[in-house]
Amino acid sequence: MWKIRNISIDNQIVIAPMAGISNPAFRSICKKFGAGLIYTEMVSDKAICYSNTKTIDMTQVNEDEHPLTMQLFGHDIESMVQAAVFIDTQTDCDILDINMGCPVNKIVKSDAGSALMKDPEHAAEIVREIVKHVQKPVTVKMRAGWDKDSVNAVEFALMMQDAGASALAVHGRTRKQMYEGKADWHIIKAVKDAVSIPVMGNGDVTSPQLAKQMLNETGVDAVMIGRGILGDPWLIRQTAHYLQTGELLGDSDIDEKFELARQHAQSLIALKGENVGMKEMRGHASWYMKGLKYSHRVKDCISQMTTYEEFVIILENYKQSLINDEWKWLDR
């Protein structure tokens, strides 16, 4: 167990915020599989200030999600503080995180996300003002720097700590790298060695062994896993078990994968309605089937599905194809 200020976290596995993915349907699955701490997808400060219905709906938290970190992005201090106060007082999250790591052009062009790493003084002022106005712990998710010529993670982290941040999540890539190349764990270690607040290490943790390796090599308080669990939340359970016992659990079988995919689809439908829910499920379904035989063929069918009934038929026919080791045309 470790803590972010007064929030106790049962294990060292943190699920990263992923835009368009980290909604309650996905988060409840992560919690079910044993995640210690879960992040929401990022929400816009301006959208909260304008009471945008879709964004306000994104701030809803289910009882089974705690402890939960809600992530906020923006650039202007006044609107960031206003939105932070809303999250602090009007939502049931446990921790408020400020996104200073998102590399996506749309976010960076508004001087938010990883663009803030180019202006550490302004970033620190955002943290300082938010900390003054909220009761919940405030954390920062950051990157190694903007590009290889401006790797400023250690200096930036110290400024965030001095501004009142209660913990940091450090992705070992620069903004320029996006999600390509290799994450630099040496930078994560350097940040951990420099600050006294908890640090979560993020980047290239795709197995229980790599999670243990990151903990050993960097000394971080927890590992943050993102894309590695898409379609494979069993990685959470396997990692938690391995860190505790040193024993590797077996992989999931087809029945388990397909049953969880059905449950995920049902949760998305309950959350967003069948039309939107099943469109979002197309991506998740492809992840659940990644690595299975004939998966490239079934993905063509998944990309066109619009109803839960279609999805069930696809899964059943695909399962028979795998059992018989013979591709069967999927009835639609």
| Judgement on whether residues 236 and 259 belong to the same structural domain of the protein | no
Here the CATH number for the domain that contains residue 290 is: 1.10.1200
Q: Which sign, positive or negative, has the C-alpha torsion 264, 39, 273, 88?
A: positive
Alpha helices in the chain (DSSP H): 24-32, 45-49, 53-58, 77-90, 105-108, 120-133, 153-163, 185-194, 208-218, 234-245, 254-272, 274-288, 295-302, 308-324
User: What is the pLDDT, as a whole number, of residue 294?
Assistant: 86
Q: Final residue of a domain: which of 202, 224, 245?
A: 245
241 is in an annotated binding site: no
**Inter-helix orientation angle 254-272/274-288, to 10°:** 160
User: What is the pLDDT, as a whole number, of residue 330?
Assistant: 54
User: What is the pLDDT, as a whole number, of residue 332?
Assistant: 47
User: What is the pLDDT, as a whole number, of residue 331?
Assistant: 52
Catalytic residue among 30, 49, 93, 102: 102
231 is in an annotated binding site: no
Whether the ω angle into residue 67 lies within 30 degrees of 0, i.e. cis, is yes
Domain enclosing residue 217, as ranges:
2-245
Q: Report the C-alpha gap between 15 and 214 in whole angstroms.
A: 15
227 is in an annotated binding site: yes
Residue pLDDT tens, the chain, 332 long: 899 999 999 999 999 999 999 999 999 999 999 999 999 999 999 999 999 999 999 999 999 999 999 999 999 999 999 999 999 999 999 999 999 999 999 999 999 999 999 999 999 999 999 999 999 999 999 999 999 899 999 999 999 999 999 999 999 999 999 989 899 999 999 999 999 999 999 999 999 999 999 999 999 999 999 999 999 999 999 999 999 999 999 989 999 999 999 999 999 999 999 999 999 999 999 999 998 988 888 888 899 899 999 999 999 999 988 888 887 665 54
120 is in an annotated binding site: no
Query: How many domains does the chain divide into?
Result: 2
Is there a domain that residue 330 lies in? no
pTM for the structure as a whole: 0.93
| Judgement on whether residues 192 and 174 belong to the same structural domain of the protein | yes
Q: Report the C-alpha gap between 288 and 302 in whole angstroms.
A: 11
Q: Report the C-alpha gap between 127 and 140 in whole angstroms.
A: 8
| Judgement on whether residues 210 and 146 belong to the same structural domain of the protein | yes
| Judgement on whether residues 171 and 267 belong to the same structural domain of the protein | no
Q: Report the C-alpha gap between 172 and 193 in whole angstroms.
A: 15
| Judgement on whether residues 12 and 155 belong to the same structural domain of the protein | yes
**CA-based max dimension of the chain:** 63
Task: Please return the burial class of 289, using the count of CB atoms within 10 Å of its CB with bins 0-12, 13-18 and 19+.
Answer: buried
Q: Report the C-alpha gap between 227 and 214 in whole angstroms.
A: 16
Is there a domain that residue 93 lies in? yes
CA distances to 176, 190, 214 from 183, rounded to whole Å, are: 12, 14, 11
User: What is the pLDDT, as a whole number, of residue 48?
Assistant: 97
175 is in an annotated binding site: no
| Judgement on whether residues 236 and 293 belong to the same structural domain of the protein | no
Q: Report the C-alpha gap between 297 and 302 in whole angstroms.
A: 9
Q: Is 49 a residue of the active site?
A: no
Q: Judging by DSSP bridges, how do beta strands 138-145 and 199-202 pair with one another?
A: unpaired
